[in-house]
């Protein structure tokens, strides 16, 4: 066995051991979005998982193709055993879809609104509307005003989980469409961006000092990922053998 091959084997073995020694946590969606598994995340330090943010398509949660254009952002706020609890912290409409709706004969109306909900949480919501035909400047102001009044009236008696649920179920979008369409014919109205400025007090991240590892919980790498690692190692070994045979053939030709 050549020195180069032995060195590659050591590097491959070291990389595999590094991943196998990591703790794996199951990231779960908030209860108001269905408590679905959002995937696995590895870490060598349990405290580094807390506060970790990630994005994913709404379609990955609902399995509806129509939800492909909506991206959600989550943040890990608590850990119990191998379960990493998350909270919704943002949403964004696909920019390519947004640009595809804008035409020369249409008008774009956009409004940014800071909202404070009943439970003390705060959000910044951006509403995006496109008219069928060109609208005058004053008409755009009236559309934006109608959206603002409806939105502020809606959030007076609503909590954070209920608002997020209305976002992913398009209830809020439908609610804002009607008054805006009464002012001027609207082709589409979307919630193009949501940013959570402050979570409710009972849903904020737990203190890192309160994190404890439960020895009875299996934090090892999921079995399906073990199988993937084994397949990768087999492929790498086959490539190495092919390269070694090629180098031996070259040496014979040189002789």
Q: Is 207 helix (H, G, I), strand (E, B) or coil?
A: coil
105 and 186 in a single domain? The answer is: yes
pTM value is 0.74
CATH of the domain at 161: 3.30.479.30
Residues 229 and 220: beta-carbon distance below 8 Å: no
89 and 209 in a single domain? The answer is: yes
- Is 5 inside a domain boundary? no
Q: Is 230 exposed, middle or buried (0-12, 13-18, 19+ CB in 10 A)?
A: exposed
- Is 71 inside a domain boundary? yes
Report the interhelical angle of 137-155 vs 171-183 (nearest 10°). 140
Full pLDDT tens readout for the chain, 255 residues: 555 555 555 555 555 566 667 788 999 999 998 888 999 888 888 888 888 999 999 999 888 898 999 999 999 998 888 889 999 999 999 999 999 998 889 999 999 999 999 999 999 999 999 999 999 999 999 999 999 999 999 998 899 999 999 999 999 999 999 999 999 999 999 999 999 999 998 887 765 555 554 444 445 555 555 555 555 556 556 656 665 555 555 555 555
Provide the domain limits for residue 221: 22-93+205-235
In 3D space, the residue among 3, 216, 192, 52 whose CA is nearest the CA of residue 109 turns out to be: 192
Residues 71 and 61: beta-carbon distance below 8 Å: no
84 and 116 in a single domain? The answer is: no
161 and 219 in a single domain? The answer is: no
114 and 186 in a single domain? The answer is: yes
78 and 104 in a single domain? The answer is: no
- 51 sits in the region (left: phi over 0; alpha: psi -120 to 50; else beta) called left
Number of domains within the chain: 2
- Is 161 inside a domain boundary? yes
- Is 27 inside a domain boundary? yes
151 and 181 in a single domain? The answer is: yes
């Amino acid at each position: 066995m050549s020195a180069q091959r032995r060195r590659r084997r050591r590097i491959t073995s070291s990389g595999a051991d590094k991943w196998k020694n990591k703790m794996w946590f199951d990231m779960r969606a908030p209860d108001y979005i269905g408590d679905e598994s959002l995937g696995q995340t590895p870490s060598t330090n349990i405290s580094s998982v807390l506060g970790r943010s990630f994005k994913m398509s709404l379609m990955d949660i609902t399995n509806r193709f129509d939800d492909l254009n909506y991206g959600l952002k989550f943040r890990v706020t608590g850990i119990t055993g191998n379960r990493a609890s998350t909270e919704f912290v943002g949403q964004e409409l696909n920019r390519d879809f947004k640009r595809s709706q804008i035409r020369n004969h249409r008008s774009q109306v956009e409004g940014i609104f800071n909202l404070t909900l009943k439970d003390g949480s705060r959000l910044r919501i951006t509403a995006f509307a496109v008219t069928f035909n060109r609208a005058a400047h004053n008409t755009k102001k009236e559309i934006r005003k109608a959206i603002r009044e409806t939105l502020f009236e809606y959030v007076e008696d609503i909590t954070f989980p209920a608002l997020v649920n209305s976002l992913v179920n398009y209830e809020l979008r439908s609610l804002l469409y009607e008054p805006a369409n009464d002012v001027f014919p609207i082709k589409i109205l979307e919630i193009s961006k949501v940013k959570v400025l402050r979570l409710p007090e009972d849903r904020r991240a737990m203190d890192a000092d309160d994190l404890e590892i439960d020895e009875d919980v299996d934090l090892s790498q999921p079995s399906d990922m073990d199988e993937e690692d084994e397949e990768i190692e087999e492929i790498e070994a086959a490539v190495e053998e092919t390269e070694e045979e090629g180098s031996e053939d070259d040496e014979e030709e040189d002789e």
